[in-house]
Amino acid sequence: MMRKKFIKLTAACVLTAIVLYSGSLQSQPASALTNPSAIYEPVQQQAEQWAAELASQPSFHAWKQASLVVSPIGPGTHSWLVLVKQNKLTVGYLIINAVETGGYQLGEYGTSSSPPFNEGTLSKSVQQLELLHPASSIEALYVNPLLAAWKVASEKETYYTDAASGESLPIGENDWLAAESQKPVNQGRMQIGANAALLKQVSLPSFNAYDKLPWLTDRPISLNASSYNSLFAKINNKEQLRYTAELFDGQMLYVWSVVGYNKWDSGQLYVALEAGEDGLDRRYIPVPLLIELGRFYR
């Protein structure tokens, strides 16, 4: 479902892209570079609180006594990517969003060695674009978990690639701007706040989302943003569910397997999704956002 421009690939394009991105993360005052976490100290402290809460659960056991590395997502952003590191290896991530009235909310999180916006994904993105000339700029764009991308500019062309998979998106700048302008209703209420505690975790075995294609043959599960008990009843019964989202006016179809959920004491629910079936990369995303942007199938 992807369209790709076939032009000659050079290793210099990939190297230049990574250098551009790494440079954008390091464009901080000298005092901040001496102590990189100092400039993000409030974000760091909040991340530590959420990470410690999650680490108490079996699915996040690798997070115990892990170190956290904070970096901004895009220039002038109000979101941060927090990598969870264990012995220098990435074992998970959190994406934290600032609240206009103050404080932070947890936009998404996951157990993954290759979270959104990692350098390996960027390298894959540039390779798939097969640029003739090195990229002139790289920008990380994050609106919500389903709308996260690399924006890669090269001479007169601008490309977009998925921040999680690295695959090229069949869109142009107008498509992105149109999708970006359609922000979900009450997005802030979907996310947990500073002092939330995890009440319940359900974790299901991984499976291949494409073993069946119910989005082609069946009706989706009937849900709305205020009533989704039937969805969690099915997950609790260990049914194999799929989640799909068609973005950019149907130009892009995402398909994930549903492999559990987390329930927080503030009432928010984050559904666990997987694109693969090896159990290594799970993303936890607020359920109201998923209901608004896509559909669940049995």
The structural domains of the chain, with segments of one domain joined by +, span 196-297
pLDDT recorded at residue 285: 97
Q: Give me 207's structure tokens.
A: 């499976």
Q: How far apart are the first and last CA of the chain?
A: 23
How remote is the C-alpha of 124 from its chain's centroid?
16
Q: How many residues can be counted in the chain?
A: 298
pLDDT recorded at residue 39: 64
* Winning range, highest mean pLDDT, from 10-14, 55-59, 187-191: 55-59
CA distances from 282 to 9, 39, 48, 260, 268 (A): 31, 29, 20, 10, 18
Which pLDDT band holds residue 5 (cuts at 50, 70, 90)? Answer: very low
What is the average per-residue pLDDT within 266-278? 93
φ, ψ for residue 15, nearest 5 deg: -60, -45
Residue that the structure tokens 């570079």 belong to: 33
Closest to 93 in 3D by CA, of 19, 10, 164, 181: 164
pLDDT recorded at residue 12: 43
φ, ψ for residue 54, nearest 5 deg: -70, -35
User: Global pTM?
Assistant: 0.87
Q: Judge contact between 96 and 79, C-beta under 8 A.
A: yes
pLDDT recorded at residue 124: 80
CA distances from 132 to 149, 152, 157 (A): 21, 13, 11
Ranges assigned E (strand) in the chain: 67-72, 79-86, 89-98, 104-111, 137-144, 147-154, 157-162, 198-203, 241-247, 252-264, 269-274, 282-286, 295-297
- Burial of residue 151 (CB within 10 Å: 0-12, 13-18, 19+) is middle
CA distances from 154 to 139, 149, 170, 186, 294 (A): 12, 16, 16, 36, 32
Q: Is the pLDDT of residue 6 over 50?
A: no
Q: Is the pLDDT of residue 35 over 60?
A: no
